[in-house]
Chains A and B, each alone.
Chain A
Amino acid sequence: MSDDRSDKKVLIVEGLVKTYQNSPTPAVNGLNFSILEGDVFGLLGPNGAGKTTTISIMTTLMKPTGGKVSIFGFDVENNPVQVKEAIGLVPQDIALYVGLTARENLRFFGHMYGLKGSYLEIRVSECLDFVGLTASADQRVGTFSGGMKRRANLAAGILHKPRLIFLDEPTVGIDPQSRSMLLERLIHLREEGVTMVYTTHYMEEAQTLCSSIAIMDEGRIIMQGPPSELIEKNPECRNLEDLFIKLTGKHLRD
C-alpha cells in the first residue's frame, strides 16, 4: 500500500526550525518528515515539545525561522492562500463564537471558506449531522457541554471538505462518551481517505487512529514510524504509552 502512495506525499517538512524571540533554545529544531495521502499522522510529545508550534507553521499561522514546509506541492510561506484552501484546522481551543448558535457558527466559517447558497446550507446540515448536533443546531454554543463544543469545533474544521486536516488535541477535556464519539467520527474520515495530522496526549487514541506517528521532545523528533512497528522494535514496551514514557522520561514538563 505504501509503495503505491509513495509519490503522493501531501505534506513534506524539511529542516524545520522555529526560535521564538528572546528564547535561547529553538522550540522546533530541524524537523524532517513527510505524510502520504490518506495517512493519519500522530504528532506526539510532552508539553512544550513543539507540537503546536509545528502545527502553527504548517497551517500558515506562524513563519518558521528556518526550513521548509510544502503542502500539496505548495510552499506554505510563498503560497499561503492555496495551502489554506486545501487544509482544515481543528484547534486545541474551542474556536467558536459562544454568542452564536452552532448553525450560525458553521454558516459563518463556511462563508469564510467561500461556500455559499444552498451548497453551504447542505454542508452545514451534513456537518452538524456528522458530529451529532442536529438537534442542538440552533442553540447557542455558549450553552453547550464541553463534549458538544468539541464536536462543533470538529464540524467547523471539515465544512469545506479539506484534503488535509490538522487536529490539535481535539479530544482534550471531555467525557469518555464524547471522546469515543469523536474518535469514531475521525475513523470515519480516515476511511473516506482524508489525510490528518493529529496531536494528542492520549496514547491509546494515537494507537487506534494513527497510521504513523512521530514522538517529539525538546523540538526534535526522537522516533517515528507506524505505532505497531515502533512497539515491536521495543519489546519491553507493552503499548505506545510505555514507549512514550521510555523515550521522553518520567520527569514533569511545565
Chain B
Amino acid sequence: MFKLFAAAKKELLLLRRDVAGLLVLFVMPAILVVVVTLVQENVSKTIGDSALNVLLIDHDKKFVGLTIEKELLASRLINVNKNDTLVKSDIGQARDAVAGGKYQFCIVIPEGMTDSLNNRVLDTVKQSFSKKTQGKHKEDTKNEAEKLIVYADPALREGIRRSIVNFLEKILLSIELEEKMVTLTRIFPEEIQKKYKEKIGPHWPMDLEKIDIPISLQWSRQSFLGVEEIIATGETLKAFPSTMQQNIPAWTIFGMFFIVVPLGGSLIRERQSGTLARLLAMPVSPFTILSGKIIAYLIICLIQFFLILIVGKTLLPMLGTPVLHMGPSVSGIILITLCSALAACGYGILIGTLARTYEQASMFGAVSVVIAAALGGIMVPVYAMPKLMQDISFFSPLSWGLTGYITLFVRGGGLLSVIREISLLLGFFIATTFCAWFTLFYREKIST
C-alpha cells in the first residue's frame, strides 16, 4: 500500500513543480465557468428554438381542449404526444415522466374548461347590455382564471420554458377573444331588439336617432383562462432553477475531463524517458503504477471541483448572477463528482497508453473532450439537438456526469436517482483502465 502512496505522492510532487500546468488545471476551468456562465446568462433566457416533447392530457375534450391541441400540433417547435397510455391516465406518473426528462412539458387541460369559459363569457357579454354596469369595468364574479396546468422539466432552459408558457397564454387569449366575439355576435341582435322594444313600446313612429341603447364593451381586463406553471419535481424544489445550476456543473465536468491532457502526457513522458520501463523492472505491480497516477489526478479533479463551487457560491453572485444551489443530496454530489473524476482519469490513462507522442495525446485528448462535451449536452442541451445526435449523446461520459449533476442540482434528486449515471461512469472508468492496463503491460510485452 505504501508503494501506492509513494507513486501518488511522486505524481503530486511533479505536478506541484509544474506551476504553469497547475494554473492551466485550476484557473482555466474556473475562468471558463465564469465567462460561459456570464455569457449564457442572458442568451439562455432568450433562446428557445428546438422541437420539444410535450405530453398533452386533455380532460376537457371540448372547444378549449381541442383548440389548444390543434394549435400545439400546428407548431413545428413542439412534438405533441397525447397517446402515452402509460402516463396519460395518471397525473402523478405524467409528472414523473417530465421530472425524469422523458417530456419537457406536460400540459393538463382541466375538465369543464370550455363550459366554464362559455358561462363566464355569456355573463360578461350579457352584462354589457345591463344598465347597472354602464360606464364601469365589470368584474367577473369568479375572480380566478380557469388554469391550464403546465408541468415543466426543471432542467429546461429558462428561455425555452418562458417561450412555451407565452405561447400557451397567446393560444388561451385568442380562444377567449374568439369566444367573446362569437357570443357577442350571437347576443347582440337579440339584445338590440329587446332594447328597441323596451324604448319604442307602443309609440310609433319615433325618432330612432334619439333612442339611447346602453351597451358597454368595457370588459374586465382579467383573463378567464390562464396558465399555471408547476415544477415537475413537486415539493423538492420551491422555484425554477437558475442558469447557474445548469451551467456550472456542465462546465465543471468539461474542465474535469481536460485532465486527460496532462495525465495522458505524463504517461507518455514516462514511456519515452524510460522511467516506465525502469518501474516495470522493479517489484511493483502495473496496477500500483496506474493507481498512483489515478489517485493524484483524482485529487486534482476534486480540488478543481471545489474551486469551481467556491466560484459559483461567492464570485459569480458578486458579478450579478444568482447564488448556486446544489440540491439536497450531498452524498449524491460526492459520488457523482468522484465517479466523473474517475471516468476522466480512466480516459486520460487510456489516451496516454494509445497515443505515441505527447502531441498526439494533447491534440486527440483535447479535441475528443470537446466533441464529447458537445455531444454530452455541455454546450447545447441534449433535447435541443437533432434526433440522431440525441441518440449518439448517450455514449458520451460527459453526458452521464451532466445528467447526474442536473438530476441533483436542478431536479432535486437524491442518491438513488443518479445510480444509473454513477454505474455508467464507474463502468467507463473500469473499462478504460482495463484497456490501458492490457495495452501497456500485456499486449506490448508480448507483441512488440
Minimum distance in angstroms from B8 CB to a CB of chain A: 11
Contact A113 to B445, CB < 8 A, known contacts A91-B277, A108-B10:
no
Give the docked Cα–Cα distance between A63 and B273 (Å): 21
Contacts of B278 in A (CB 8 A): 89, 91, 95, 109, 156
CB < 8 Å neighbour of B10 from A63, A87, A97, A98: A97
Contacts of B18 in A (CB 8 A): 99
Contact assessment for A61 and B282 in the assembled complex, using a CB-CB cutoff below 8 Å: no
Minimum distance in angstroms from A21 CB to a CB of chain B: 5
Contact assessment for B275 and A96 in the assembled complex, using a CB-CB cutoff below 8 Å: yes
Contact assessment for A84 and B281 in the assembled complex, using a CB-CB cutoff below 8 Å: yes
Contact assessment for B282 and A84 in the assembled complex, using a CB-CB cutoff below 8 Å: yes
Contact assessment for B6 and A60 in the assembled complex, using a CB-CB cutoff below 8 Å: no
Chain A, 84-143, CB within 8 A of any chain B CB: 84-85, 87, 89, 91-100, 104, 108-109, 111-114, 116, 140
Contacts of B283 in A (CB 8 A): 81, 84-85, 112-114
Contact assessment for B2 and A116 in the assembled complex, using a CB-CB cutoff below 8 Å: yes
Contact assessment for B14 and A100 in the assembled complex, using a CB-CB cutoff below 8 Å: yes
Contact assessment for B2 and A113 in the assembled complex, using a CB-CB cutoff below 8 Å: no
Q: Which of B7, B9, B10 gathers the greatest number of chain A CB atoms within 10 Å? A: B10
Contact assessment for B3 and A99 in the assembled complex, using a CB-CB cutoff below 8 Å: no
In the assembled complex, A223 has its CB within 8 A of some CB on chain B: no
Contacts of A85 in B (CB 8 A): 283
In the assembled complex, A33 has its CB within 8 A of some CB on chain B: no
In the assembled complex, A62 has its CB within 8 A of some CB on chain B: yes
Minimum distance in angstroms from B4 CB to a CB of chain A: 10
Minimum distance in angstroms from B183 CB to a CB of chain A: 83
Contact A87 to B281, CB < 8 A, known contacts A99-B18, A108-B6, A112-B6:
yes
Give the docked Cα–Cα distance between A56 and B448 (Å): 11
Give the docked Cα–Cα distance between A116 and B13 (Å): 18
In the assembled complex, A54 has its CB within 8 A of some CB on chain B: no
Contacts of A93 in B (CB 8 A): 273-274, 277
Minimum distance in angstroms from B266 CB to a CB of chain A: 10
In the assembled complex, B86 has its CB within 8 A of some CB on chain A: no
Contact assessment for B6 and A111 in the assembled complex, using a CB-CB cutoff below 8 Å: yes
CB < 8 Å neighbour of B14 from A61, A99, A156: A99
CB < 8 Å neighbour of B3 from A63, A95, A114: A114
Chain B, 7-26, CB within 8 A of any chain A CB: 7, 9-10, 13-14, 17-18
Contact assessment for A62 and B282 in the assembled complex, using a CB-CB cutoff below 8 Å: no
- Residues of B in contact, count (CB < 8 Å): 25
Q: Which of A20, A98, A108 gathers the greatest number of chain B CB atoms within 10 Å? A: A108
Contact assessment for B281 and A60 in the assembled complex, using a CB-CB cutoff below 8 Å: yes
Contacts of A212 in B (CB 8 A): none
Contact A100 to B277, CB < 8 A, known contacts A81-B283, A111-B2:
no
Give the docked Cα–Cα distance between A100 and B17 (Å): 8
In the assembled complex, A199 has its CB within 8 A of some CB on chain B: no
Chain B, 212-256, CB within 8 A of any chain A CB: none
In the assembled complex, A59 has its CB within 8 A of some CB on chain B: yes
Contact assessment for A20 and B17 in the assembled complex, using a CB-CB cutoff below 8 Å: no
Q: Annotate A22-66 by CB proximity to B: 1 below 8 A, 0 otherwise.
A: 000000000000000000000000000000000010011111000
In the assembled complex, B446 has its CB within 8 A of some CB on chain A: yes
Minimum distance in angstroms from B283 CB to a CB of chain A: 4
Minimum distance in angstroms from B439 CB to a CB of chain A: 14
CB < 8 Å neighbour of A59 from B7, B14, B281, B447: B281
Chain B, 172-198, CB within 8 A of any chain A CB: none
Give the docked Cα–Cα distance between A99 and B7 (Å): 15
Contacts of B310 in A (CB 8 A): none
Minimum distance in angstroms from B255 CB to a CB of chain A: 23
Minimum distance in angstroms from A237 CB to a CB of chain B: 34
In the assembled complex, B299 has its CB within 8 A of some CB on chain A: no
Give the docked Cα–Cα distance between A59 and B6 (Å): 23
| B278 nearest CB neighbor, chain A only | A95
Give the docked Cα–Cα distance between A111 and B289 (Å): 12
Minimum distance in angstroms from B440 CB to a CB of chain A: 12
Contacts of B14 in A (CB 8 A): 97, 99-100
Q: Annotate B341-358 by CB proximity to A: 1 below 8 A, 0 otherwise.
A: 000000000000000000
In the assembled complex, B279 has its CB within 8 A of some CB on chain A: yes
Contact assessment for A21 and B447 in the assembled complex, using a CB-CB cutoff below 8 Å: yes
Contacts of B281 in A (CB 8 A): 59-61, 84, 87, 89
Contact assessment for B17 and A113 in the assembled complex, using a CB-CB cutoff below 8 Å: no
Contact A63 to B284, CB < 8 A, known contacts A95-B278, A100-B14:
no
| A108 nearest CB neighbor, chain B only | B10
Contacts of A95 in B (CB 8 A): 273-275, 277-278
Contact assessment for A112 and B13 in the assembled complex, using a CB-CB cutoff below 8 Å: no
Contact A97 to B275, CB < 8 A, known contacts A111-B2, A113-B282, A113-B283:
yes
Minimum distance in angstroms from A95 CB to a CB of chain B: 4
Chain B, 317-362, CB within 8 A of any chain A CB: none
Using CB atoms and an 8 Å cutoff, list the residues of chain A in contact with chain B: 20-21, 56, 59-63, 81, 84-85, 87, 89, 91-100, 104, 108-109, 111-114, 116, 140, 156
Using CB atoms and an 8 Å cutoff, list the residues of chain B in contact with chain A: 2-3, 6-7, 9-10, 13-14, 17-18, 273-275, 277-284, 445-448
Q: List 8 A-B contacts (CB under 8 A).
A: A61-B281, A95-B274, A95-B278, A96-B273, A97-B14, A97-B275, A99-B13, A112-B3
Task: For the A-B complex with A62-B445, A89-B281 known, give 16 more contacts whose Cβ atoms are closer than 8 Å.
Answer: A20-B448, A59-B281, A87-B281, A91-B274, A91-B278, A94-B274, A95-B273, A95-B278, A98-B273, A99-B18, A111-B2, A111-B3, A113-B282, A113-B283, A114-B283, A116-B2
